[in-house]
Structure 1
Amino acid sequence: MHNERIHKIISEKVKSQIPELKKQFLKHKDREYGRFQNQEEDLIQWREELIELYAKTIQLDRQEAIQLVINWGKKVSDFLVNIQMPLDEAIDEIRYYRDQIGQIICESATHEEISYREFYQLISAFDFSVDHAIQIVCITYMENNLKKMQKAQMEIEELTVPIIRLSSKIGVIPLIGELDSDRALKLMEEALKQSSKNGFTHLIIDLSGVPVVDTAVASQIYKVLEGLKLVGVIPKLSGVRPEIAHTMVNLGINFKDNPSYSDLSLALEKIGFIHK
């Protein structure tokens, strides 16, 4: 009962100092945190929740404290990733408040004249909660950041192989920039998937914006053309410049059944597409 009373006293003292504590770190890191000025209110809010977390864990047993920290860590990691706060700076805040609240625990322990054993148990339990908070934040932060990066990468990949629907049956893939093996594989995937999804009968792959095509990529383009025919789509190449044609010829690829055109308008004209 004595320990519970001491824990409650310290917990309430920490809570009573939240208004002052949550402002201290902003003053402490004012220069470094200038770029987060638009999120200042949100940052103050997350500091308040962090301090409240610490205050609550003081009164809880270890298992209850762990569960509380896990729930908090998952929530706060989303926030930190969204505002793009570096992980080391977030951990810096967590540790900063450990020191501040650790001082409150020491002062309260002295005032209440608790034994060294009780003090050791109290400060050890508090440190355990803080260490667990850092671990959870690190893990969930990296997981959330990875998911965000993967989502961004998927969006970028979609842009690298854009498909334009000209009509209900005709699509065009205007490729721009370097076409490497990875992008060529993405071309195969998107060409087949989008052609089937949109019900295209004709798909034109326009190479006007591609500066160089090596033999590996030329071979992959040939596979794309053959794959499209297997799913009932008539493929055509446009924007084939002399140097690209030279690479394809040297590779020994037979384009007899895959006609190519010097520009997109000729390919569209050949399949009877008239722009109105």
Structure 2
Amino acid sequence: MTVRLQSASEKILERKEEIAHFITVEQNKKFPDQLESLSNELLPMRIELVKVYAKALALEDVESEQKIKEWGIETGEECARIGTTLDAMLSEVPHYRNFIGEVLKEYAIEQGMGIEELYEMISKLDYIMNLVVYYFSVPYVDYQTNLLEQSRKEILELSAPVVPIMDGVAVLPLIGTIDTYRAKLIMEESLHQSVNLNLNYFVIDLSGVPIVDTFVIQQLFQIIEALKLVGVEARISGIKPEIALSVVKLETNFGQANTYSTLKRALADLVNMS
């Protein structure tokens, strides 16, 4: 069987360009907006994948899995990088199965092989295809996940902008909801910028925060205490009546920080001090 698998592998390799071209045409019909413009980049990858299928067919399982893994790490990430979708890429699998299956069937007829031998070859092809799907998908998803996390981090960093107003004074205008991750980021950014800008006063404006609950107040208290440790006095503006009521109910020293109903009043107070 090993000799026949090697010969079948060679038959597939002889038609690698034909198979890759056929898949490119079919995929461009199915995903014209997404894949047609990427044809020049994807065609060589498809030719390489046909080669991977063909060579893996003639190798022992352990060796073929290692080769597929190496291919998947490189190609999965590259396909994600150039902007394909996982749905489009995985939709190619049946094309490879059908086309390569036909090559194996033609070879089996040519060699006078029995049903059992053909079944063994098709079963190995299915095994290889399962490995291809797995080792392609993992790095693809990892790349997309890392990209999304990086984008989320960049968006959150923009959501905590420290704005220098005058020497020794900066404002952090907060907009939107504050969750655990964002609270941690605000803490880090407040401390970093306070030291970096050599601040004396740091105004945290809550005017754009729709909900200031117990969690948010506790986080603000921690930020105030942390800033105090680096020699910066925190002041809170945008205090609405409902925020004031929530603060009073908590047993914290949050009330020791200077608070203002508006940012304008907080800045006016600082100007008068200078």
Provide the C-alpha distance between the structure 2 equivalents of 1:69 and 1:191, rounded to a whole number of angstroms: 47
Equivalent residues in 2 for 1:210-229 (5 A)? 210-229=209-228
- Is 2:151 the partner of 1:162? no
Q: Aligned AA for 2:135?
A: I
Greater shift, 164-173 or 138-147, is seen at 164-173
| CA RMSD after TM alignment | 3.1
CA distance in 2 between partners of 1:130 and 1:205 (Å): 56
Q: Is the 8 A contact 2:20 2:46 kept in 1?
A: yes
How has the CA–CA distance of structure 1 residues 99 and 167 changed in structure 2, closer, same or farther, with 3 Å as cutoff?
farther
Comparing 40-49 with 65-74, greater Cα deviation is found at: 40-49
Partner AA of 2:134 in structure 1: Q
Task: Give the letter aligned to residue 39 of structure 2.
Answer: E
Match of 1:205 in 2: 204
Q: Distance in 2 between matches of 1:196 and 1:95?
A: 59
In structure 2, distance between residues paired with 1:3 and 1:216: 67
Q: Residues of 2 paired with 1:88 and 1:7: CA distance? A: 31
Whole-angstrom CA distance in 2 between matches of 1:23 and 1:209: 55
Q: CA deviation at 1:209?
A: 2.0
**Separation of aligned partners in 2, 1:102 and 1:136:** 21
Q: Count how many residue pairs are aligned between Structure 1 and Structure 2.
A: 272
In structure 2, relative to structure 1, the CA distance for the partners of 1:119 and 1:250 (3 Å cut) is closer
Separation (CA, whole Å) in 2 of partners of 1:182 and 1:126: 46
Counterpart residue number, 1:61: 60
2:139 is the alignment partner of 1:140: yes
Q: Per the alignment, in what secondary structure is the counterpart of residue 133 of structure 1?
A: helix
Q: 3-state SS of the aligned residue for 2:234?
A: strand
Which TM-score applies when normalising by structure 2?
0.82
SS of equivalent residue, structure 1 residue 206 = strand
Q: Quick one: which of 13, 18, 21 aligns to 2:19?
A: 21
**Are 1:261 and 2:256 matched, yes or no?**
no
Alpha-carbon distance in structure 2 between the residues aligned to 1:180 and 1:245: 20
Distance 1:109 1:167 in 2: 82
What's the offset of the Cα at 1:101? Answer: 0.5
Amino acid corresponding to residue 234 of structure 1 in structure 2: E
Does the 8 Å CA contact 1:10/1:105 hold for their aligned counterparts? yes
Partner of residue 128, structure 2: 129
Give the 3 Å change call, closer, same or farther, for CA 46–187 of structure 1 in structure 2. Answer: same
TM-superposition CA deviations, 1:5-34 (whole Å, max 9, x none): x44443333233233222323443444302
Q: Is the 8 A contact 2:178 2:216 kept in 1?
A: yes
Which runs of no fewer than 5 residues in structure 1 stay unpaired?
Answer: none
Structure 1 letter corresponding to 2:187: M
Q: Which residue of 2 aligns with 1:46?
A: 45
Quote the Cα distance in structure 2 between the aligned partners of 1:68 and 1:24.
Answer: 24
C-alpha distance after superposition, 1:187-219 (max 9, x if no partner): 334323443455433322122322342343223
Unaligned ranges ≥5, structure 2: none
Shift in Å at residue 98 of structure 1? 1.9
Taking the aligned partners of 1:178 and 1:188, their CA distance within structure 2 comes to: 15
Flag the 1:244–1:109 CA change in 2: closer, same or farther, 3 A: same
8 Å Cα contact 1:81/1:145 also seen in 2: yes
Q: Which amino acid aligns with 1:22?
A: A
CA contact (8 A) 1:164 1:173 kept: yes
| CA gap 1:252/1:121 in 2 versus in 1, 3 angstroms | closer
Task: State whether structure 2 residue 99 is matched by structure 1 residue 100.
Answer: yes
Q: Is the 8 A contact 2:77 2:143 kept in 1?
A: yes
Task: State the Cα deviation string for residues 25-80 of structure 1 (Å, max 9, x = none).
Answer: 34434443022133222232322221121122233232221111001111122133
